[in-house]
Amino acid sequence: MEVVSKIKEKAEHLIQQGYQTDAGGYIRRGWEIFQENMGLFIAYTILVILISVAAAFIPFGSLLVSGPLMAGFYIVANKISKGEPYEFGTFFKGFDFFVPLLLYTLIGGIFIALGLVALIVPGIYLAVAYTFAPLFIVFAKMEFWDGMEYSRKLITKKWWNLFGLVLLLMLINMAGTLAFLVGLLFTIPLSYCAIYAAFEDIVGTE
């Protein structure tokens, strides 16, 4: 619980005082983490795609699995960054946070959709502002609403900077799509590793 409280305290301090960001540095660090075990990340990405396709044929299937599967990238990125042992099964540790991640995916998705329908801009704002929510849920053991609010308040301090990072990652994934979709096997895990790198640099996970 000491680690959890430190992450919350750090986040609260940053929300009040602000912080610096380095989008290019986060992508470089994300690449370093990714290439530490590129094969394992690619194998998991393939599995995530297959599970997501299968889940799409089940009512609410995508809603149930998307949060924990996404969290798996962050959990393994954390293990690699900290030099801690991990295995392929570590990717599925995201399911240890199934309920808060499910609620985040559901409620966050509704808020973003309503924002897009209303004036578009609020939806874009929330889509970026909630970027760190699953990381707060996993690494600070927050409930879904606290994770969403901490993420929103923190990212709002430097929203344009984090929007720039998200935009860069979107462009990288578009390039991966153009590379006969095969490039996505590299750009998807790289994106998650870069988001993790941003969270680790700004908030920390210890």
pLDDT score of 2? 61
pLDDT score of 1? 55
Mean pLDDT of the chain: 93
Residues in CB range of 120: below 8 A, 6 or more apart: none
**150 touches 131 (CB < 8 A):** no
pLDDT score of 5? 76
Q: pLDDT tens for residues 35-46?
A: 999 999 999 999
If you search the block for the tokens 């396709």, which residue do you land on? 53
Q: pLDDT tens for residues 140-191?
A: 999 999 999 999 999 999 999 999 999 999 999 999 888 777 889 999 999 9
**70 touches 83 (CB < 8 A):** no
Give the 3-state DSSP-derived string for 61-78, with helices as H, strands as E and coil as C.
HHHHHHHHHHHHHHHHHH
